[in-house]
Structure 1
Amino acid sequence: MTVHLHKGDLPDDLDLGPVVAVDSETLGLSLVRDALCVVQLSAGDGDAHVVQLDRKTYHCPNLKALLTNERVEKIFHFGRFDIAMFQRDLGVTTRPVFCTKIASKLARTYTDRHGLKDVTRELVGIDLSKQQQSSDWGADELSPAQLDYAASDVLHLHELKNKLTDMLVREGRLALAEACFDFLPTRAKLDLAGWDETDIFAHT
């Protein structure tokens, strides 16, 4: 595994292919308070690209172009949060997307464990470390441990997508999952607009 650190943006000549795993790191989990700091990506080739964003400008045209490229599918785990952060701080709507957490909830109905660590352990046989999850992602310099952690969150998403897609097809739920993925940018907009805890589909 090689982790490539990029300051501010992806390189101009980097081609990550038609399916890219994406995740982000923030200063916390509040869509109102906490800043987007890092975006990590992988082409599924065992390498990871970590973009340490300039939080004063969020000037990253290459990253924004990838996130909005309709010919590139972006794989997330709990994409709802990342997509909302990208809408808020980068000003882009990310699509098309595949969310392994939604796929897991629709396919792995035999369990209530749908976190990335649990899904990766079962389907890929790898035990991810979450030790750096709550570290300071706004630091001027990211530590080797932080870079390795950021990379680990995207390195296995391609394999998870393939295995979960097979399960969704087996259970006849792939079309339902795809409809949920298509709705994610709208779900993110609802979160940002204040409907993050309200089920607008509920009768009450």
Structure 2
Amino acid sequence: MPVQGSRARTVGYGFGERLRVRGQVARDNMLRLRLRVALKLMALLALGTFALVLLLALLSPPGGKVDLPLEVDLTGIEPGALREIEWKGRRVLIVHRSPEMLDALPPDDALYDPASRLDRRPRGLTEAHRGFREQWLVVFGESTDLGCPLELVPPGSDPDWAGGFRDRCRGGRYDFAGRVYRGQPAMRNLEIPRHRIERERLILGGS
């Protein structure tokens, strides 16, 4: 009889142990399942974040700067004068061309690209003056070969030429419409930023 009781206790203990082990296995499986789900969610979140960053980078303008419009009052710029401003990290030159400056524009055969076929510019500009109004010229203030700063040379101040813009590195010359002369280091006219003129206001960028 004692032996039979011992067997009963042993059998009972083995069944309970199996139940405990099965419960532990079930809990372990559930934990592993939750870990796998969490890892997959983290991977999806990381992938979505990467895709969003990539999309924003592709949609951003060059240089990473937002093309916010900038308004400039033109009323204080006298004929023959230049105003320099900074926009999107670049120098912009605003020139109120005087009648003498317009008269000093050279013939086409003195220019490398008189029709501005090689340069980037907004639509609607006149070919000869490269402006929405003949008295106003708006250009980026660096040469098109090395990106050197430009200086304005008024008409009659240099006996060797009629005046215009000259870069401070190699002396490259551009006329008062920003067109490069023949025989210069640069072969492209000065770049014109996207802009418009409304009454006496210059608006850079924007729609």
User: Normalized against structure 2, the TM-score is what?
Assistant: 0.24
The answer to which structure, 1 or 2, has the higher relative contact order (CA under 8 A, 6+ apart) is 1
Which has more helix, going by share of residues?
Answer: 1
| Rg comparison, structure with higher value | 2
